[in-house]
Amino acid sequence: MKRTATRLADGRELIYFDRRDDADRGAPDTRDLPPRPPASQLRHDPIMDEWVAVAGHRQTRTFLPPADECPLCPSAPGRPTEIPSSEYDVAVFENRFPSFSLVQGEYAQVGGLSEVRAGVGRCEVVCFTSEHGSSFADLSPDQVDLVLRAWADRTAGLSALPGVEQVFCFENRGAEIGITLAHPHGQIYAYPYVTPRTRQMLASAERHRERTGGNLFADVLAAERKAETRVVASNEYWTAFVPAAARWPFEVHVYLNRQVPDLGSLDADERAAFASLYTGLLRRLDGLFGVAMPYVAAWHQAPVRTGRDLSYLHLQLFSTRRAANKLKYMAGSESAMGAFVNDVPPEEAARLLRE
């Protein structure tokens, strides 16, 4: 893998990841861009003990442009984009409209019991391919391997930034999910705190270890492999299963068959085995109703400084589509109470995906 780091016109970092050592990534960014916005404002919710980012500059971000105006496609004569090169394998750059960044601003207290501080961190965009009409499911095994290595590279790099506590790699796909750009891409958030979901999972894992002496994630994986009824696909290195208490109509968790904390811990054989299993799983999703399924694919990695011995790298993949012409919405029970009601029995979802 060849790694080439450069800068865009407003100073944001751009990194190319190439399979070829002779790839030329010297093309400059010729655009006249405005100054970068300051970091968001973080406000603490004392009732939920959670941080909320207030990032007003994101209201102006690009929203579903036509294909010939896509900012993630390679640059062409007369049409410069976020990627100055005329072609690329995988490209990662700092988000122009970030939820977190290292650009400091003014952060006055707002009164009440809510503490305010800077949303220090970083947000990056990961372009999986230069082919606008493609998808992750269409990537070759070599291309998936390159994406995995780019994710691992950025996880290590972002974890080393001051103030970063957790690195989250994810993909949103489909207008129904709320994407703003259709080009095959994902994002990486480097948070200045450990996220609520991760805190809750690690607290559960700690209680499980105190009670049983085992690792919660490893024990869940072992139980699902033994039960078999919710396993969708597996190989020597990975197991994909629908969780017994799935919240979403079609939700699959993909676990490595050994405990590691993050993507940087994967070896070459594990990366290769993931490529075939995961792209096949995405094609199963698309085959359910004969349409491109909207989904979120979320990598759960260990935080930078806490809970690393408890953490277990895994991917959570879920779709909001519950039938060919019906979507699952976060309505009253889910949005207000955090209490999910799933219309599709997990065993039925697993059977449909296997078939």
Q: Where are the alpha helices (DSSP H) in 214-267?
A: 216-227
Instruction: Decide if 208 is catalytic.
Output: no
Nearest one of 125, 149, 156 to 261, comparing CA atoms: 156
Read off φ and ψ for residue 300, nearest 5 degrees: -95, 110
Strand ranges, E, within 59-191: 90-94, 116-118, 122-127, 166-173, 185-191
Q: One of 44, 57, 132, 185 is an active-site residue; which one?
A: 185
SS3 144: helix
Q: Where are the alpha helices (DSSP H) in the chain?
A: 141-159, 196-212, 216-227, 268-289, 337, 346-354
Which two three-digit tokens encode residue 185?
A: 């891409």
Which residues is 190 bridged to in the sheet?
A: 122, 167
Taking the C-alpha atoms of residue 257 and residue 254, their distance in angstroms, rounded to an integer, is 9
Read out DSSP for 297-341? EEEE---SSSSTTT---EEEEEESEEETTEE----IIIIIH----
* Residue given tokens 């780019």 in the structure block: 150
**Cβ atoms of 206 and 231 closer than 8 Å:** no
Residues 6+ apart with CB under 8 A from 150: 15, 17, 90, 92, 126
Taking the C-alpha atoms of residue 295 and residue 284, their distance in angstroms, rounded to an integer, is 12
Q: How far are the Cα atoms of 175, 248, 283, 314, 327 from residue 346, in angstroms, in the given order?
A: 25, 9, 19, 19, 17
Taking the C-alpha atoms of residue 88 and residue 74, their distance in angstroms, rounded to an integer, is 7
Residue 157, amino acid: G
Q: What amino acid positions are annotated as catalytic residues?
A: 185
